[in-house]
């Protein structure tokens, strides 16, 4: 028997709708062809190579049973779930009784479904009373979150993808959209091609596939985005292309900002950014001549030691020109992971709570305590440990129970050698993943088999706030369980039975959406039953019209979530890179992504078509630098930083700015020798968002 199932792609934050062909033989379901779902509003039937091939790796190399070892030098032994739960509960209780509950940490993921996220928050922040839940989104989206919160008073990307098809100018900064958000890029590109007046500007030190398609590419020096934005603002101000009514009625702090941007004449800015002055003027002219401007960004801005300030200075440009809350306008953060957005909504970072609430806000804590039926002051007023702070806690011994789920930090965390040492110091690491082995399994005491996409039911929210229902349509492999079920069972065994009395994920979802009521991300009108019919964009409060599912942007009334409802300008100068190039390490290394591979390759490394596309990681280097060091394409090059080293094959190319190098992040120690990019990177982070500067570290090179 064969069937067609609708779901969402489990890779990137574009959130493409998929139709998966399944066939059932002897009650065993196998996954067949995967196609785009034409009825999905976000993707309209399109998919990229990752979505199209996802079925091929779902059942390969899976972890089937819980495995345990007393210490990292021993072999794993199979144990039962009962034994695994006992070990977790015993260690949690031991840590609570000895060093206290803040010795317990979870490190989760934007690849959780919202239901997984929600149950983990309830267990950690509510029942246990520690905010030590952070996610890989700390390395990914946290600057976007704090940028929106700072400027608008709440998180939430205000745009919808339809704005891409109604703009006069798309301003893409620090995003290789063509490779990393391909279907969003296709929508924009098709519209751009059809409409001569529409401009596309790309700001990126590399000439990426995205930059190739642009009318104007600004290959700025890494880390000079704030200078560029302040420089554009300087010109707009000088030309009088600002919206004084909008500024007066709907914003604060413009006068201070005006003072700051005086310091940014074009000749100075062009020099700092390393671009021709004429190109800077062209970029500002596009803003000037366009009534509708949409900006898009991802890791080139977020992964920065001044990530929040970068995003807020970009938002400044929208505030001064009144390009927000209107069709074809707005500052649009592209989320990386399939459910990074759901994680934000459910409170899945160490400083936030479900429903876009903040740990530091006493009213927010009280509301959540009440909704959870917990005694007053159950939720700690202190933000928990961020991704990197938890690693530091393992180093010092402050963390004695470390639970990792749906992320592979032994590839993706900064300063990998230090990360590995810290993990070796961990008395108890639980690692919950679908695949085995992965690099992180080598550092775990207990590994738990997770059911993954296609094997568990839940929801995910994409970059434009569209929530899609993802049903289970095949059996978990071995004894794999949904993440939320594992968290709930641990909660029950810790004595919190009444808080985790859920029979299925639909019930979890019903409780979760009730916590969003009257919040900026109100989705209290959603349920699994409703979402089974079609994906729906939030806000979607109880009683919302079910026919009005898509195409709504935020802030159409220009009322923001700050106390006086006004958006806030920020007036700042750049502090530059945390680790600038210097005589010993004269290059800036930037680490990012390739079109075909997904992160640490647990799925895409097992797909023949994708491996053929990208057989190995290459080091991109400019011909001028290559010549100076006697390097030719194909030569092996040793890269060193203060923290570690790597050896990569060179690709000499003009697609990268001189004195800047690029390597992909994907190849951990299981997939290559000396190809761990993050052994070079550093953990220095934005002071507001605590997001590490994964996009830039100082390195030296030599022929290997």
How far, in Å, CA of 543 to CA of 528, rounded?
Answer: 15
Provide the token pair at 59.
Answer: 């059942």
Q: Which is nearer to ligand SF4, 51 or 347 (CB)?
A: 51
Beta-bridge partners for 332: 296
**C-beta separation of 405 from 483 below 8 A:** yes
How far, in Å, CA of 549 to CA of 535, rounded?
Answer: 7
178 binds ligand SF4, rule: CB under 6 A: no
7 binds ligand MGD, rule: CB under 6 A: no
Q: Which residue, 40, 41, 6, 30, is CA-closest to 20?
A: 6
How far, in Å, CA of 8 to CA of 92, rounded?
Answer: 35
**C-beta separation of 134 from 362 below 8 A:** no
Q: Which is nearer to ligand SF4, 15 or 668 (CB)?
A: 15
Q: Which of 186, 590, 679, 700 binds ligand MGD (CB under 6 A)?
A: 590
Contact track, ligand MGD, 113-152, x by CB under 6 A: -----------------------x--xx------------
Kindly tell me the sign of the dihedral angle through the C-alpha atoms of 379, 383, 387, 388: negative
Stretch that binds Mo ion, among 133-141, 221-229, 352-360, 536-544 (CB under 5 A): 133-141
Q: Which is nearer to ligand SF4, 43 or 440 (CB)?
A: 43
Q: Which is nearer to ligand SF4, 183 or 698 (CB)?
A: 183
Q: Which is nearer to Mo ion, 321 or 337 (CB)?
A: 337
How far, in Å, CA of 290 to CA of 312, rounded?
Answer: 21
164 binds ligand SF4, rule: CB under 6 A: no
Cis before 198 (ω within 30): no
**C-beta separation of 121 from 130 below 8 A:** no
How far, in Å, CA of 74 to CA of 88, rounded?
Answer: 19
Q: Which does 111 bind (CB under 5 to 8 A by kind): Mo ion, ligand MGD, ligand SF4, none?
A: ligand MGD
104 binds ligand SF4, rule: CB under 6 A: no
Q: Which of 5, 6, 7, 16 binds ligand SF4 (CB under 6 A)?
A: 16
In a 3-state reduction of DSSP, which class is residue 230? helix
Q: Which residue has the tokens 């964009």?
A: 537
How far, in Å, CA of 265 to CA of 259, rounded?
Answer: 12
Crossing angle of the two packed helices 505-514 and 114-121, in degrees rounded to 10 = 70
Q: Which does 47 bind (CB under 5 to 8 A by kind): Mo ion, ligand SF4, ligand MGD, none?
A: ligand SF4
Q: Which of 6, 11, 443, 619 binds ligand SF4 (CB under 6 A)?
A: 11
Q: Which is nearer to ligand SF4, 50 or 234 (CB)?
A: 50
Contact track, ligand MGD, 394-413, x by CB under 6 A: -----------xxxxx-xx-
Q: Which does 174 bind (CB under 5 to 8 A by kind): ligand SF4, ligand MGD, Mo ion, none?
A: ligand MGD
Q: Which is nearer to ligand MGD, 139 or 477 (CB)?
A: 139
**C-beta separation of 640 from 648 below 8 A:** no
251 binds ligand MGD, rule: CB under 6 A: no
173 binds ligand MGD, rule: CB under 6 A: yes
123 binds ligand SF4, rule: CB under 6 A: no
CA 300 to chain centre: 12
595 binds ligand MGD, rule: CB under 6 A: yes
Q: Which of 140, 236, 269, 284 binds Mo ion (CB under 5 A)?
A: 140
CB of 297 to ligand SF4, least distance (A): 17
Phi/psi for 610 (5° steps) reads -75, -40
Total residues binding ligand SF4 (CB under 6 A): 13
Stretch that binds ligand MGD, among 93-101, 253-261, 320-328, 433-441 (CB under 6 A): 433-441
Beta-bridge partners for 649: 618, 636
CB of 535 to ligand MGD, least distance (A): 19
Provide the token pair at 257.
Answer: 């900002």
Contact track, ligand SF4, 29-68, x by CB under 6 A: --------------x---xx-xx-----------------
598 binds ligand MGD, rule: CB under 6 A: yes
Q: Which is nearer to ligand MGD, 125 or 695 (CB)?
A: 695
Q: Which does 9 bind (CB under 5 to 8 A by kind): Mo ion, ligand SF4, ligand MGD, none?
A: ligand SF4
183 binds ligand MGD, rule: CB under 6 A: no
Contact set for ligand MGD, span 605-634 (CB under 6 A)? none
Residue 495, class by beta-carbon neighbours within 10 Å (0-12 exposed, 13-18 middle, 19+ buried)? exposed
599 binds ligand MGD, rule: CB under 6 A: yes
Residue at shortest CB range from ligand MGD: 336
In a 3-state reduction of DSSP, which class is residue 108? strand
Q: Which of 130, 298, 386, 568 binds ligand MGD (CB under 6 A)?
A: 298
For 417, how many CA atoms within 13 A lie in the half-sphere containing its CB?
12
Q: Which does 591 bind (CB under 5 to 8 A by kind): ligand MGD, ligand SF4, Mo ion, none?
A: ligand MGD
CB of 336 to Mo ion, least distance (A): 3
DSSP 521-563: T--TT--HHHHHH--EESP--TT--TT--S---S-TT---SST
Q: Which of 67, 261, 314, 677 binds ligand MGD (CB under 6 A)?
A: 677
CB of 480 to ligand MGD, least distance (A): 9
Give the contacts of 640 (CB within 8 A, at least 6 positions apart). Answer: 585, 680, 699, 700, 701, 702
**C-beta separation of 360 from 351 below 8 A:** yes
Interior/surface letters 77-100, b for 16+ CB within 10 angstroms, e for the rest: eebeeeebbebbbebbeebbeeee
Contact track, Mo ion, 282-321, x by CB under 5 A: ----------------------------------------
Q: Which is nearer to ligand MGD, 13 or 153 (CB)?
A: 13
How far, in Å, CA of 347 to CA of 332, rounded?
Answer: 20
678 binds ligand MGD, rule: CB under 6 A: yes
Residue 511, class by beta-carbon neighbours within 10 Å (0-12 exposed, 13-18 middle, 19+ buried)? middle
3-state helix, strand, coil in the chain (%, to 5): 35, 20, 45
Q: Which of 37, 155, 179, 345 binds ligand MGD (CB under 6 A)?
A: 179
Q: Which is nearer to Mo ion, 140 or 618 (CB)?
A: 140
How far, in Å, CA of 48 to CA of 180, rounded?
Answer: 10
Residues in contact with Mo ion by CB under 5 A are: 140, 336
Residues in contact with ligand MGD by CB under 6 A are: 12, 109, 111, 136, 139-140, 173-176, 179-180, 203-206, 208, 222-223, 225, 298-300, 303, 336-337, 405-409, 411-412, 432-435, 438, 450, 452, 483, 590-593, 595, 597-600, 602, 665, 677-678, 681, 694-696
Residues in contact with ligand SF4 by CB under 6 A are: 9, 11-12, 14-16, 43, 47-48, 50-51, 182-183
């Amino acid at each position: 028997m064969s069937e067609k199932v609708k779901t969402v792609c489990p890779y990137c934050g574009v959130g493409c709708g998929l139709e998966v062909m399944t066939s059932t033989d002897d009650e065993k379901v196998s996954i067949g062809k995967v196609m785009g779902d034409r009825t999905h509003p976000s993707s309209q039937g399109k998919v990229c190579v990752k979505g199209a091939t996802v079925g091929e790796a779902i059942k390969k190399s899976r972890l089937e049973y819980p495995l345990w070892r007393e210490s990292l030098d021993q072999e794993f032994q199979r144990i039962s779930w009962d034994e695994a739960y006992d070990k977790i509960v015993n260690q949690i209780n031991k840590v609570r009784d000895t060093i206290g509950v803040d010795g317990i940490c979870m490190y989760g993921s934007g690849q959780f479904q919202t239901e997984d996220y929600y149950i983990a928050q309830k267990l950690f922040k509510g029942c246990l009373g520690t905010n030590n839940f952070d996610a890989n989104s700390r390395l990914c989206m946290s600057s976007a979150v704090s940028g929106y919160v700072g400027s608008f008073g709440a998180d939430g990307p205000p745009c919808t993808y339809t704005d891409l098809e109604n703009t006069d100018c798309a301003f893409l900064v620090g995003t290789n959209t063509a490779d990393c958000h391909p279907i969003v890029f296709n929508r924009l590109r098709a519209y751009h091609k059809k409409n001569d007046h529409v401009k596309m500007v790309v700001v990126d030190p590399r000439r990426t596939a995205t930059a190739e398609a642009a009318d104007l590419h600004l290959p700025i020096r890494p880390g000079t985005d704030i200078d560029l934005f302040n420089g554009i603002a300087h010109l707009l101000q000088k030309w009088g292309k600002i919206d004084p009514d909008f500024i007066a009625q709907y914003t604060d702090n413009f006068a201070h900002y005006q003072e700051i941007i005086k310091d940014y004449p074009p000749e100075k800015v062009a020099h700092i950014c390393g671009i021709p002055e004429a190109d800077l003027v062209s970029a500002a002219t596009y803003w000037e001549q366009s009534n509708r401007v949409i900006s898009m960004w991802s890791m080139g801005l977020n992964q920065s030691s001044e990530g929040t300030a970068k995003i807020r200075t970009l938002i400044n440009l929208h505030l001064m020109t009144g390009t927000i809350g209107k069709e074809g306008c707005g500052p649009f953060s592209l989320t990386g992971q399939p459910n990074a957005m759901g994680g934000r909504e459910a409170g899945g970072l160490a400083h936030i709570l479900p429903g876009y609430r903040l740990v530091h806000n006493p009213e927010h804590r009280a509301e959540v305590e009440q909704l959870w039926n917990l005694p007053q002051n159950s939720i700690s007023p202190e933000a928990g440990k961020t991704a990197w702070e938890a690693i530091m806690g393992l180093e010092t011994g402050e963390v004695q129970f470390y639970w990792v789920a749906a992320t592979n930090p032994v590839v993706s965390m900064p300063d990998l050698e230090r990360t590995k040492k810290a993990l070796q110091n961990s008395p108890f690491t639980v690692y919950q993943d679908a695949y085995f082995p992965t690099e992180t399994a080598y550092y775990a005491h207990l590994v738990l088999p997770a059911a993954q996409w296609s094997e568990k039911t839940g929801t995910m929210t994409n970059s434009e706030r569209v929530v899609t229902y993802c049903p289970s349509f095949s059996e978990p492999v071995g004894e794999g369980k949904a993440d939320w079920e594992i968290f709930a069972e641990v909660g029950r065994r810790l004595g919190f039975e009444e808080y985790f009395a859920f029979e299925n994920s639909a019930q979890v979802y019903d409780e979760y959406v009730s916590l969003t009521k009257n919040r900026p991300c109100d989705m209290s009108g959603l349920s699994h039953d409703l979402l089974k019919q079609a994906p729906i964009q939030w806000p979607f409060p109880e009683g919302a019209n079910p026919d009005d599912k898509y195409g709504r942007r935020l802030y159409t009334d220009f009322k923001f979530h700050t106390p006086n409802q006004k958006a806030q300008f920020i007036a700042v100068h750049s502090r530059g890179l945390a680790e600038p190039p210097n005589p010993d390490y004269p290059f800036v290394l930037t680490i990012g992504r390739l079109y075909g591979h997904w992160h640490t390759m647990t799925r895409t490394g097992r797909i023949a078509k994708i491996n053929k596309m990208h057989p190995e990681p290459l080091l991109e280097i400019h011909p001028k630098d290559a010549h100076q060091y006697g390097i030719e394409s194909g030569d092996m090059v040793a890269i060193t930083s203060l923290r570690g080293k790597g050896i990569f094959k060179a690709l000499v190319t003009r697609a990268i700015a001189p004195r800047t190098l690029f390597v992909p992040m994907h190849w951990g120690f299981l997939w290559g020798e000396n190809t761990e990019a993050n052994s070079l990177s550093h953990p220095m982070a934005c002071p507001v968002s605590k997001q590490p500067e994964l996009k830039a570290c100082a390195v030296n090179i030599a022929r290997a």
